[in-house]
Amino acid sequence: TRTTPATSAAACDYSFLLQQPIFQLVAPEESGVDVSLATPLAIASQGHFDAIRQVELIPESGLPIVLSPHNFKPFTAAAPFVPPKVTRSLSAPVVEMLSLPRLKPSTTYQVVLTVRTLGSPPGCPKVLTEHIARFTTESATSLDAIALSHEPPAPPTGTPLTGAQIFDNALRELRTFQYPPIVSFMVTTRSTINGKPFEETFRSLLRTSDDVVITHSVPVMTTNQPENPWGFRVTIPLLGSLFPSQRKGNYSEPFGVPEISPIYSFNLLPRAPITFPGMPPPDPNEEAIRSLGRILTIARDYDATLLDVEKYGSRYVYHLKLTPVERPNVFRLREAWIDTQAFVIWKLRSAGIFDEGPATTVPWDITYTIVDGHWFMASESTTSTIRTGGFLANTPQVNYDGISYTFSDFTYPQDVLGLDFFSEVKTQAIQN
């Protein structure tokens, strides 16, 4: 998308924009997920790289990364990656590469070029700003990020632990994690519908004291096309209720606006008590009451069985099978991957997510990450095809071929009011 300075002359003939060169990001791919933190940038054009004045990588929050275009180098076969295919909009493209500094994990970057215009008429802008792509970097899983001092990754030795011992150690580790009062983050929904990608990104806030999430219902990015302000639509009430209409190529969120807590642990931790203004604090004298002793109990919601020790990224993990002791529709976890040294849970497999709707009927894989020393959900995904809507739901029927939620851009605002956590959004996509 090309934007022009606000001071441009109103009399400028902007038809010259159609003759400007096209720039396309080919690596990392547009809307790429889990992009390496150490990666080159590759851009395709018809050879007009000398027109680029500046390259910026702009995160959702924080300072942008400003790069000099003089460091562009032609792509060669010896490059450390193979560039993806270039779209047909570029004929006989030239691909050049630009080295990047190490990027921040779990962060969405907008790629913005400042480009000198070619052949612009008098009185028209001489420089254009082009937002050519966006991508999200991979999650961090280094134990250094949570200040744990362990030896380099190695498979476990000595007397093997039982599945129950491993699971209990993971729960103890989970109870040590702490969070700032408020967490701001981005959640991105991705799927494939009729062979075409569907993607939307929302901005969310989490109040960690009671795990309440509020999500702004208007996405900050969507593959849906905006409504034509000059168009019109004829609606017949009876037919509209029997056959709901939907703009071609535009789709709704599969389960509604996502209100998912990135610290959700599938009931592995007890829910924090909700406090309200005016509630009296706990009586300190209760601690002074004499007692004969204390009893420590660990809830046995699952029977844990060790399946294997596996490599997981740069770490080694225990792969556990989890069998719920009772109420399998409530205790949905079926497998867990737990770090063999730090007992951090890196991955879970669940028989459904959310409390209601079609997401409860298919298996999901949940991965976790460490960001700024905090344990967060990195993604929830299923490869199953999920059908939503239809005649009974009074909405258009849609088949979502695989669905994923990814979480990124974690920040910790200090000036959030309690009223910011009031919402009347109706959605099935709730996890807190």
Query: What pLDDT score does 154 carry?
Result: 78
pLDDT, mean over the chain: 81
> Of the candidates 311, 324, 374, which has an alpha carbon nearest to the alpha carbon of residue 352?
324
Rounded to 5°, the CA angle 360-364-369 comes to 130
For residue 168, the SS3 value is: helix
Q: What share of the chain is helix, strand, coil (3-state, %, to 5)?
A: 10, 40, 50
pLDDT category of residue 234 using cuts at 50, 70 and 90: very low
What local confidence, expressed as pLDDT, does residue 332 receive?
A: 95
Longest CA–CA separation in the chain, Å: 90
SS3 310: strand
- Determine the Cα–Cα distance for residues 5 and 125; give it in Å rounded to an integer: 7
Identify whether the C-beta of residue 175 lies closer than 8 Å to the C-beta of residue 338: no
Distance CA 114, CA 130 (A): 6
Mean pLDDT, residues 418-432:
77
Measured between alpha carbons, how far is 215 from 405 in angstroms, rounded to an integer?
Answer: 14
Determine if residue 265 is left, alpha or beta; phi over 0 gives left, psi from -120 to 50 gives alpha, anything else beta. Answer: alpha
DSSP 331-348: S-EEEEEEETTT--EEEE
Q: How do residues 309-338 score in pLDDT, each as one tens digit?
A: 999 888 899 999 999 999 998 999 999 999
Q: Is the pLDDT of residue 186 over 90?
A: yes
Decide if pLDDT at 247 tops 60. Answer: no
Q: How far, in Å, CA of 251 to CA of 223, rounded?
A: 9
Phi, psi of 82 (to 5 degrees): -105, 120
Based on DSSP, count helices (H) and strands (E) in the chain, helices before strands: 2, 23
pLDDT higher than threshold 90 for residue 172:
yes
> What's the N-to-C CA distance of the chain in angstroms?
37
Of residues 134, 133, 120, 135, the one with CA closest to residue 4:
120
Range with the lowest mean pLDDT among 41-55, 300-314, 316-330?
41-55
Amino acid identity of residue 360, one-letter, is: T
**Token pair recorded at residue 371:** 């960001």
Q: Where are the alpha helices (DSSP H) in 89-210?
A: 163-174
Average pLDDT over residues 131-146: 78
**What would the DSSP string read from start to end of 180-231?**
-SEEEEEEEEEEEETTEEEEEEEEEEEETTTTEEEE-SS-SEESSPPP-TT-
Tens of pLDDT, residue by residue over 369-398, are 988 889 999 999 999 999 987 655 556 789
Q: What is the pTM for the complete model shown?
A: 0.76
Cα torsion for 287, 290, 292, 295, to the nearest 10°?
Answer: -10
Q: Hey, what are 33's tokens?
A: 């997920």
> If you average pLDDT over residues 296-318, what whole number do you get?
83
Confidence at residue 146, expressed as pLDDT on a 0 to 100 scale: 55
pLDDT at 141: 72
- Among the listed residues 337, 376, 381, 336, the one whose alpha carbon sits nearest the alpha carbon of residue 363: 381
Q: Considering only residues 14 and 167, tell me which one the structure prediction assigns the higher pLDDT.
A: 167
Over range 117-143, report the average pLDDT. Answer: 85
pLDDT (0 to 100) of residue 276: 41
Locus of tokens 């996405």: 219
Confidence of residue 169 (pLDDT cuts 50, 70, 90): very high
For 205, 275, 276, 284, the CA distances from 280, given in Å and listed in that order, are: 27, 9, 9, 11
pLDDT for res 64: 94
Residue 378: other Cβ atoms inside 10 A: 25
**Does the pLDDT value for residue 218 go beyond 60?**
yes
Per-residue pLDDT, 109:
94
| 64 vs 148, residue with greater confidence | 64
- Give the range with max mean pLDDT: 13-22, 171-180, 224-233: 171-180
Higher pLDDT, 268 or 18: 268
Peptide bond before residue 28 is cis, with ω within 30 degrees of 0: yes
Q: Calculate mean pLDDT across residues 211-233.
A: 76
Nearest in space to 299 (alpha carbons), one of 279, 327, 273, 319? 327
Determine the pLDDT at residue 202: 95
Of 106, 138, 156, 105, the residue nearest 343 (C-alpha): 156
Q: What is the pLDDT of residues 60-85, one digit of tens each?
A: 888 999 988 787 888 765 444 445 55
pLDDT value for 79:
46
Buried b or exposed e, range 96-112, using 16+ CB within 10 angstroms = bbbebeebbbbbbbbbb
Percent of the chain whose pLDDT exceeds 90: 43
Chain-centroid distance of CA 398 in Å reads 23
pLDDT for the residue numbered 425? 75
- 131, 1 Cβ separation under 8 angstroms: yes
Cβ atoms of 113 and 129 within 8 Å: the answer is yes
